[in-house]
Structure 1
């Protein structure tokens, strides 16, 4: 026999019905009443309950004119046109590669959306299709840009710029996509001696700062020379700093990463992830960021 059970409702402080843009950010959890004003339209992350707009996910309330939605704090990557992503090739298909980009569906990189070695602009022939594994094969990491979004939500990528392409030697770190701060550029050569690619999809690539770029390679030249010990130590320290910032939900961008790196220099690399040292480093980083903003 089915039994109808409901948890006791706790009293929630509903948000102002006006929800003006000057109210700042409003964080809600599932079951919170967003507004009782019937003049608003229901967006993603909300539902109607007794003529009240209620949150169905934990996140931040966003309003566009009369449309109200809740942006989840933790979710799969929902790509937009122009986003920089770091992904891994999972399959080579006819005239396309399938790429894992931390989204709900595998992304697509078409053969016509890449630069061929030599950089010449021409139609892709049958010979190019047969040589697809010479450019990219399963397991390869790439950096790319979202070119368009299909109707089912899958992303179409392109690497038609020399700053995109196959990634060589380095370390990939996975964090929540919501922690990546949107900026004009997501490629940063840090003053500490390494470079990072902050993928909007939550994948961060840390690698030694490259020298002269080989333009004839079309983005597919990867150096296999041994990485010096000093560079490996910098990369390892940056990796641990990224994990520390992500554990404390600090937004990740070039300034916060560099401040955290400088705060960690008094500790050994292996000690950065110890809870007490991690708290100390992140606290100092937050204070420096506040001082900079203030």
Structure 2
């Protein structure tokens, strides 16, 4: 019978707040009794004490304190990037026929939030060349609260793959397109075979996303790339092992702290 074993290794001590964070709270926890702070989302005042109303991470911006939930449903804002699958259409029959020239039910697409209605429904558009139908790649579903808001959510990573970090928690990993494909716009779908090396890179990135998400690390291009680099000493399949996952995330956090410092 085969057994998979790892020998203990001496790790460099790392001072990282992620694994012992004092800013994680649950509903009812007192955040502060200082009356000089303003109440933000996820908090309420009880007996002159600012108290958490949701489980999450305390965030302070000047005098404003709010709690960012570790898990939350996606509440879209205008300009948000979303990734998803078309299930049905709600426009007129004429619009439906026109749209079906480009997109069909079942297609995976990237789009941008154009407007938000009072009932929470979102209007999406794919009018930019960077949006549209998604071809060959891997879809990863994570918590929307882990996606860091940035100026761009489309990244061609130096490791050889590209990533779309949807604000709705859906992340798309795919081979970095060539110049010809980029010029073709968002409705061109490449059906060329994906090379083994590209598949390995994408699989490694996928497992890195799960590792970061498991430790509640914000997902953006830098954190994903640092995690990828930290994982290279391990096989792709081993990244999801708890002890390897923790080691990789610790190294990632160290790199992020060094960058900030």
TM-score, with normalisation over the residues of structure 1?
A: 0.71
Rounded to whole Å, the distance in 2 between the matches of 1:210 and 1:33 is 50
Change (3 A) 1:244 1:213: same
2:51 is equivalent to residue 84 of structure 1: no
Shift of 1:171: 0.3
Aligned to 1:202: 169
CA distance in 2, matches of 1:232, 1:129: 35
- Structure 2 partner of 1:152: 119
C-alpha change, 1:92 and 1:266, in structure 2 (3 Å) is same
Q: Tell whether the 8 Å contact from 2:56 to 2:68 is kept in structure 1 after alignment.
A: yes
Output the TM-score relative to the length of structure 2: 0.79
How far residue 274 of structure 1 moved from its aligned partner, in angstroms, is 1.1
CA contact (8 A) 1:34 1:53 kept: yes
Change (3 A) 1:224 1:287: same
Measured against aligned partners, the alpha-carbon deviations of 1:19-56 in whole angstroms (never above 9, x if no partner) come to xxxxxx95432123456789998765445656766432
Aligned partner of 1:180 among 144, 147, 156: 147
Q: 8 Å contact 1:92–1:133 — kept in the other structure?
A: no
Q: Distance in 2 between matches of 1:281 and 1:93?
A: 45
Query: Matched residue pairs, number?
Result: 240
| Two-structure CA RMSD over aligned residues (Å) | 2.9
Shift of 1:159: 1.2
Matching residue within 52, 56, 73 for 2:53: 56
1:2-81 equivalences under 5 Å are 27-33=24-30, 44-46=41-43, 54-60=51-57, 70-81=67-78
**Contact 1:240–1:272 (8 Å) recurs in 2:** yes
**Residue in 1 that maps onto 2:13:** none
Runs of at least 5 residues in structure 2 that lack an aligned partner in the other structure: 1-21
Structure 2 counterpart SS, 1:184: coil
Where does 1:1-294 land on structure 2 (aligned, <5 Å)?
27-33=24-30, 44-46=41-43, 54-60=51-57, 70-95=67-92, 126=94, 129-213=96-180, 219-294=186-261
Cα 1:262–1:215, aligned 2, differ >3 Å: closer, same or farther?
closer
Distance 2:36 2:260 in 1: 37
Q: How far apart, in 2, do the equivalents of 1:63 and 1:250 lie?
A: 18
Change (3 A) 1:135 1:29: same
Where in structure 1 are there 5+ consecutive unaligned residues? Answer: 1-24, 97-125
2:9 is aligned to none
- Give me the whole-angstrom Cα distance separating, in 1, the residues matched to 2:36 and 2:101: 57
Deviates most, 29-38 or 191-200 = 29-38
Bigger helix fraction: 2
Deviations, residues 200-248 of structure 1 (Å, cap 9, x unaligned)? 1111100000012457855211011111111111111111111111111
Q: 1:287 to 1:54 in 2, by over 3 A?
A: closer
SS in 1 for 2:87: strand
